[in-house]
Amino acid sequence: MEYEWHASSEPFLRHFEVAAWEVVEVLYSPQRWSRPATTAQALAVLTVWGRTEDGRPLVVVLRPRSYPDRWQILMAAPMGSRQLAEFTAWEATRDE
């Protein structure tokens, strides 16, 4: 897969105190959970739930581009407590 940054992603990263390298770590993590979602503006997106190499749990929001296997990074944020509980339960079902 290929990723590109959306022009407005930087303010979201700053607001949520997420570094660009953390987003990349989650996207290329072998233990990530891709889940479809819809934004408040009814935009269909893909969320990728994962952890950085240091273990920080993040949700990355992507939208598809017109090219196959190419995604645009819209934003990323730390997981909320319910998301973290759901993700931790999912992780427990994975083979190491």
Contact 38, 50 (CB under 8 A): no
- Indicate the pTM of the whole model: 0.91
Percentage of the chain modeled with pLDDT above 70: 98
CB 32 within 8 A of CB 48: yes
Taking only the tens place, the pLDDT of each residue in 11-58 is 999 999 999 999 999 999 999 999 999 988 998 999 999 999 999 999
Q: How confident is the model at residue 96 (pLDDT cuts 50, 70, 90)?
A: low
**Quick check: 61 pLDDT over 90?**
yes
HSE toward the beta carbon, residue 96, CA cutoff 13 A: 1
Tokens for 56, please give them: 């920080």
End-to-end Cα separation, the chain, in angstroms: 22
